[in-house]
Amino acid sequence: MTDFQPRPGQRVAGYDVTARRDTDYYAVFADIPAADREVWDRAKAYIDEVGTRMLDAWDTAAYPLDLAMRAGELDLFNDGIVHPDLTRFSPLAAGLVNMEISRGDGSLGTVLAVQGGLALRTLALFGSDEQQARWLVPIARGEVPASFALTEPDHGSDSVSLETVARRDATTGEWVLDGAKKWIGNGASGGITFVWARVEAEDEFHGAVRCFLVEQDTPGYTGTVITGKASLRGIHQAHIVLDGVRVAADAVLPGAQSFKDASTVLYSTRSGVAWSALGHATACYESALAYSQQRVQFGKPLAKFQMVQERLAQMLEELTAMQLYCRWMADLEERGQLRPTQASLAKYHNTRAARRIAAVARDMLGGNGILLENGVMQHMADIEAIHTYEGTESVQALLIGRDITGMSAFA
C-alpha cells in the first residue's frame, strides 16, 4: 500500500477494519483478575501469530493442523476443566479464550471447542487413570488431535437415539464397534476419537450409551473429510465409518455409563459457544464501526449519518447484552451455581444476536463487506455453524421451555 497514488475516483488505498478495539462499553471485563487477563493476553498473542495464515486456510478450505495445535503449546486448550494434571483456568478465563480465538478465527474457535471443550473434558471426567495418564496431557498440549463423536448421519438433535453399537466379544473381551458418525471435528486428523456407542453386552450396561477411546489408525475406522462447507472452512469435520473396529476391553471410559454423561459434556461446552458468539459479534461490530469512520460517502464519513449511528447503537446494545450474559454466566459457574439451562439461554441469546450483528455489519460495509480480507463475511458464515452445533436454536428453546414450564415438548 505504500506506493499507492490517489487518483480521481480512488482517494484511499483501502480500509483498516480488522484491528482489535476491545469494546467494553459497560466495563464488563474491567475488573478481571490478573491471572485471567494473562490467559486472555496469551489468546490474543496466539491469534496475532496465526490469524493471517488462517485467513488463507479459510479461503482454500485447508486445515493447518500445526496452527490449530499451536494453541496447545500455548496451553490454551484447558477450557476451564478441573483436573490435577491440567493448568487450572477459571470459567472467566476459559470464556475469554473462547471469545478471543473466535474473534480472530472461527475455525480455531471450533478446534478449541472440540479438542478442549469436548474431547479433553470427556477424558478428564470419565477416563480411567491409565487412559488419563496416557492421553490427557498430550491432548492438552496439542500433541495428539482429539475428537468427540456423538452425532450420526441419522441422529443430530435426537442423538439420544444413536445407533452405533459396541458389542462385547465373549472370547477375547474386546469391544467391536459398528456404525457411522457425522460432523466430527478432528475425526480424520490422525489422532484419537471418543466414540459414543450403544452397548450390547451380557451385563447391566446392555442398551446403555457408553464412550470408547479409539485410535484413528485402528483397522475398520475410516474418517473422510466433509467437503463443500461454506462455514468454518479452515478446519475439517469428518464423516466416520466404523466397520468392525476392534478395541481392547479397557478402551471403554469407565466413568461414561449413560447418555446423561454425554449430555454433561455438552452442557459444559454450551457456555463456550455463547462466548464464541460474543467473539464473532465483537469482530463484526468493530469492523462496522471502523468502516463507518473511514468510509466517505456524500462528502462525509458514514459515521456522521444519523441512520448509521442508530445502527451502531443497536449493535452495541446487543453486544453489551451478550457480554453481560457471558460475564454473569462465568461468575455463576465460578460459584458452582450455573444450571445447564442457564448456559442454554446464553447460547440461545448470543448466537441469535451474533447473527443479527453480523448481518447488519455486512450490510454496513457495502460491497467491501463480502471480501474475506475484511473479516465480516467469514464471521457471518462461521456463526452459522456455532448456531447449530452444541444444540440448535430450537433445541435450546425446548430445553429452556421444559425448564420453565415443567413440560417436555421434545417429541
Ligand X SMILES: Cc1cc2nc3c(=O)[nH]c(=O)nc-3n(C[C@H](O)[C@H](O)[C@H](O)COP(=O)(O)OP(=O)(O)OC[C@H]3O[C@@H](n4cnc5c(N)ncnc54)[C@H](O)[C@@H]3O)c2cc1C
Q: Which of 4, 25, 26, 410 binds ligand X (CB under 6 A)?
A: 410
Q: Does 114 bind ligand X (CB under 6 A)?
A: yes
User: Given the complex with ligand X, which of 209 and 290 has the nearer CB atom?
Assistant: 209
Q: Is the dihedral angle over the CA atoms 151, 198, 272, 52 positive or is it negative?
A: negative
Q: Which positions ≥6 away from 191 have C-beta within 8 Å?
A: 144, 145, 146, 147, 215, 216
Q: Which of 150, 247, 315, 343 binds ligand X (CB under 6 A)?
A: 150
Q: Does 237 bind ligand X (CB under 6 A)?
A: yes
Q: Does 395 bind ligand X (CB under 6 A)?
A: yes
Binding mask 178-217 for ligand X (x = CB under 6 A): -----xxx--------------------------------
Q: Does 63 bind ligand X (CB under 6 A)?
A: no
Closest CA to 265 of 398, 164, 391, 125: 125
Annotated active-site residue in 100, 152, 333, 390? 390
Q: Which of 201, 257, 388, 402 binds ligand X (CB under 6 A)?
A: 388
Determine if residue 86 is left, alpha or beta; phi over 0 gives left, psi from -120 to 50 gives alpha, anything else beta. beta
* Cα-trace Rg, the chain: 22
**390 catalytic per annotation:** yes
Query: Across-strand partners of 194?
Result: 148, 213
Closest CA to 113 of 253, 242, 272: 272
Q: Does 392 bind ligand X (CB under 6 A)?
A: yes
User: Given the complex with ligand X, which of 364 and 385 has the nearer CB atom?
Assistant: 385
Q: Does 240 bind ligand X (CB under 6 A)?
A: no
Q: Does 77 bind ligand X (CB under 6 A)?
A: no
Stretch that binds ligand X, among 85-93, 302-310, 335-343, 389-397 (CB under 6 A): 389-397
252-311 residues near ligand X, rule: CB under 6 A: none
Q: Which of 157, 263, 293, 294 binds ligand X (CB under 6 A)?
A: 157
CB of 207: closest distance to ligand X in angstroms?
A: 20
Q: Give the binding site for ligand X (CB under 6 A).
A: 114, 147-151, 156-157, 183-185, 232, 237, 385, 388-389, 392, 394-395, 410
Catalytic residues: 390
